[in-house]
Amino acid sequence: MSTLPAGHIELERAVDSIGVGRRHRQDYGDLAPLVESIRRNGLLQPITITLDGHLICGARRLAAIRQLGWKTVNVWVRSGVSDRLGQLLAEQDDNLLHKPLTQFEAAALYRELKTLLAEDAARRQEASRFHTAADAAEDGDVKLTAPWDTTPGEAAVQAALMVTGRDSHTTLERIGRLEDLAADPSQPEAVRQRAAAEVERIKAGGKVYPAHLRVNAELSLAELDRLAADPTQPDEARAQARTEAAQLRAAVEREARAAELEQLAKDALARVKAAKATGRKPSKRPALSAVEPGEAVPFPLTMFVATWDDMAGWWLHHDPQHVGPALSEEQWSRFEETIAGTVAFADTARTARAEAERAEHIA
């Protein structure tokens, strides 16, 4: 039997009278095991609601109860959770104890928490100018554990820690940006389609950072197209923009790696802006070009790091028993060549790293 927490009362409530409202969890997962558990053992932990019947904790349990056709259910009624921030904090406490949020549910919860934490911090800072510390302690009736000393500038980090348990605010911001771009009617159709495609790729298990880079490249391509079509731009700049856009599209079509693609896009846009400023075609060659024809293009260290970030744990997502027989001779040969080159590269890099460490100790 569950123990009634402090600050709660237990009542019997009509199931239909409990309002779920707007919550960040959209995917309840497979409810069948939970439904069967409640059917067999009853509800071991009551759901929690506010005084006015708004659900705080237990959305999956409530969904299971409704599937069972229950008319009434025992609930814990909690006072002191009257504002939106308090409800979000209670919702997140429930999420930490039960089915984890998806990345997009976490991003939506993070975004709202960040805004509310920043607003709350600003309000409390403003109030502290005119009230004593004792007065400030009485400001608001939410008594949940929360970082009330958060400053508006720290809200993003604090919200990410609360939602995911780590400082993942950059990743959560990128997810939100992809969703915004996909839904923004002011963006070119190609940008919206690319952002929407990357959202679906992430939902299917893709990584956020490469998706972010590919969308950045698409935005740069849209800007190149805009400059190429702008009659107010110098002729040389428009011609340069058309050329750079064609080259960037070719890189997209050959499915260049995300980091390479973004770097190409940045360099292309920089060259066109240089042509726009001078009114003539820049004489410099692209930054990512081979020194001699036929030589490999030298990439910056950031691209190396991004490539291996993208490859992290790749072997966990593929079945070697399936991959081995499924590859063609050409594909297998390319794979073997890549592995051999990687091992040789790692050996050389490891030696260089050890020599650098020895030199540092000697110095």
Q: Sorting pLDDT into bands at 50, 70 and 90, what band is 187?
A: very high
Q: Sorting pLDDT into bands at 50, 70 and 90, what band is 266?
A: confident
User: Mean pLDDT throughout 122-141?
Assistant: 54
DSSP 6: T
User: Mean pLDDT throughout 329-350?
Assistant: 89
Q: How far is CA 282 from CA 56, 191, 231, 249, 301, in A?
A: 61, 27, 20, 21, 26
> Where does residue 69 fall: left (phi above 0), alpha (psi -120 to 50 degrees), or beta otherwise?
left
List the single range of 216-230, 267-281, 344-358 with lowest mean pLDDT: 267-281
Res 134: pLDDT: 45
Res 174: pLDDT: 93
Q: Sorting pLDDT into bands at 50, 70 and 90, what band is 1?
A: very low
State whether the Cα torsion 315-321-323-327 is positive or negative. positive
The string of pLDDT tens digits covering residues 55-114 is 777 778 888 899 999 998 888 776 554 455 555 555 554 544 455 678 888 888 888 878
**Short-list 60, 62, 116, CA closest to 87:** 116
What is the pTM (predicted TM-score) of this model? 0.51
By 3-state DSSP, what share of the chain in percent is helix, strand and coil, each rounded to 5? 65, 5, 30
Res 28: pLDDT: 67
The string of pLDDT tens digits covering residues 142-182 is 333 344 345 556 888 877 877 777 788 899 999 999 999 99
Please give the mean pLDDT across all residues of the chain: 76
